[in-house]
């Protein structure tokens, strides 16, 4: 495996002053958020109470929630249901309206009896400040990642106005590599952005963007292991088809400073001899260069 000569720095080079190379995201202070949280979620708790009082069982309560047409309200009610009725059931599962009957059949024995739910719910005020604060934490989940991607697109276009970049700039459907490469073996492999040459005849790089507010332990292993598998799959395809395509992992946030994350990413980059780049937003201007993007193996 020959080395590409165009990568001027490595991710490991930045470790000594790593804190200067991440982009902290601003947050919201507690209890400042309580007023807005209570205004937003009081109607959710009121509707949950109405549905609970007209349900003869916890299964019936769940089915009534699943019948709510408005997606946002149904999701919030599912989160309240999880807290009061079924803390062991993943919310992502509870959100699947079309699977409501099957979920009840599989998990109803873990549901708290409706009489206990009503007693517990009635013991709390409306709005319930602690519960509203918990629900508020979900409100901007993913926003930091969307901000990161949007800022990357703006930064990339300012440096490379002639290179097309595609992908959801904020919320939106990921690009599937089966839509980029007609014969890609794992057609449902999602990526966050694709960078092309000027006439869009060649894919120069594909990338994933993640903002890590706080990560550690098994999460570190999951992330770096997933990246390793992704890089191997994409670069194996590129080598087989003699493509110059590279992989960019745009990561940012204070989570990079925790545990072994920085070292793990540095090793991942080093293992691919210039074909994989790990970068934060602040590193982009000096790390992602036209020479690197267009370089081919010797």
pLDDT in tens, 8-39: 899 999 999 999 999 877 678 899 999 999 99
Instruction: State the residue range of the domain holding 93.
Output: 34-139
Q: Are residues 59 and 70 located together in one domain of the fold?
A: yes
pLDDT of residue 218: 45
Are 277 and 249 spatial neighbours (Cβ–Cβ below 8 Å)? yes
pLDDT of residue 227: 92
pTM of the entire predicted model: 0.77
pLDDT of residue 199: 95
Q: Are residues 156 and 57 located together in one domain of the fold?
A: no
Question: Residues of the chain with pLDDT > 70: what percent?
Answer: 93
Domain boundary among 122, 139, 156: 139
116 in a structural domain: yes
CA neighbor of 273 nearest in space, from 251, 243, 295, 255: 295
Domain boundary among 139, 166, 190: 139
pLDDT of residue 268: 93
User: Hunting for tokens 């602040």 — which residue is that?
Assistant: 282
pLDDT of residue 44: 97
- In DSSP notation, 248-278 reads EEEEESGGGGSTTHHHHHHHHHHTTTTSEEE
Give the count of alpha carbons within 13 A of 234, CB side only: 30
pLDDT of residue 93: 74
Q: Classify residue 134 as exposed, middle or buried by CB count within 10 Å of its CB (0-12, 13-18, 19+).
A: middle
Q: Are residues 157 and 281 located together in one domain of the fold?
A: yes
Q: Are residues 168 and 134 located together in one domain of the fold?
A: no
Dist. CA 57–CA 111, nearest whole Å: 9
pLDDT of residue 217: 46
pLDDT category, 215, cuts 50, 70, 90? low
Residue 2 has pLDDT above 50, yes or no: no
Q: Are residues 132 and 184 located together in one domain of the fold?
A: no
79 in a structural domain: yes
Q: pLDDT tens digits, residue range 217-276?
A: 445 556 788 899 999 999 999 999 999 999 999 999 888 988 888 999 999 999 998 999
Our count of domains for the chain comes to: 2
| 27-36, 61-70, 99-108: the lowest-pLDDT one | 99-108
Dist. CA 4–CA 224, nearest whole Å: 22
4 in a structural domain: no
Q: Are residues 195 and 270 located together in one domain of the fold?
A: yes
Are 32 and 25 spatial neighbours (Cβ–Cβ below 8 Å)? no
Q: pLDDT tens digits, residue range 142-177?
A: 677 788 999 999 999 999 999 999 999 877 789 999
Q: Are residues 149 and 135 located together in one domain of the fold?
A: no
Question: Residues of the chain with pLDDT > 90: what percent?
Answer: 69
Q: Are residues 63 and 182 located together in one domain of the fold?
A: no
Q: Are residues 74 and 148 located together in one domain of the fold?
A: no
Domain boundary among 105, 139, 173: 139
Q: Are residues 151 and 270 located together in one domain of the fold?
A: yes
* Rounded alpha-carbon distances, angstroms, from residue 204 to 24, 187, 247: 29, 18, 9
Which ranges constitute the DSSP H helices of the chain? 34-53, 58-66, 71-84, 91-94, 100-107, 114-122, 129-139, 143-159, 177-180, 218-240, 261-270, 284-287, 290-294
CATH number at residue 177: 3.40.580
């Amino acid at each position: 495996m020959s080395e590409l000569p165009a990568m001027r720095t490595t991710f490991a080079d930045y470790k000594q002053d790593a804190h200067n190379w991440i982009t902290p995201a601003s947050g919201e202070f507690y209890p400042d958020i309580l007023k807005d949280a209570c205004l937003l979620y009081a109607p959710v708790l009121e509707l949950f109470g109405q549905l609970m009082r007209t349900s003869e069982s916890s299964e019936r309560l769940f089915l009534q929630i699943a019948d709510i047409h408005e997606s946002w309200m149904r999701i919030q009610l599912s989160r309240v249901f999880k807290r009061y009725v079924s803390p062991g059931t993943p919310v992502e599962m509870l959100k699947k309206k079309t699977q409501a009957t099957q979920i009840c059949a599989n998990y109803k024995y873990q549901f708290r009896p409706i009489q206990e739910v009503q007693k517990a719910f009635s013991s709390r005020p409306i709005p319930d400040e602690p519960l509203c604060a918990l629900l508020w934490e979900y409100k901007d989940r993913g926003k930091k990642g969307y901000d990161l991607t949007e800022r990357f697109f703006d930064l990339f276009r300012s440096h490379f106005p002639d290179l097309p970049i595609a992908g959801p700039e904020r919320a939106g459907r990921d690009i599937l590599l089966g839509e980029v490469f007609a014969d890609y073996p794992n057609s449902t492999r999602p990526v966050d952005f694709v960078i092309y040459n000027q006439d869009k005849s060649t894919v120069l790089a594909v990338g994933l963007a993640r903002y890590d507010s706080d990560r550690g332990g098994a999460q570190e292993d999951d992330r770096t292991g997933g990246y390793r598998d992704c890089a191997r799959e994409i670069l194996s395809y590129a080598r087989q088809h003699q493509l110059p395509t590279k992989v960019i992992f745009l990561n940012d946030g204070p989570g990079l400073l925790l545990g072994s994350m920085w070292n793990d990413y540095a090793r991942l980059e080093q293992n691919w001899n210039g074909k994989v780049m790990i970068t934060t937003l602040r590193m982009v201007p000096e790390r992602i260069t036209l020479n690197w993007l267009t370089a081919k193996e010797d």
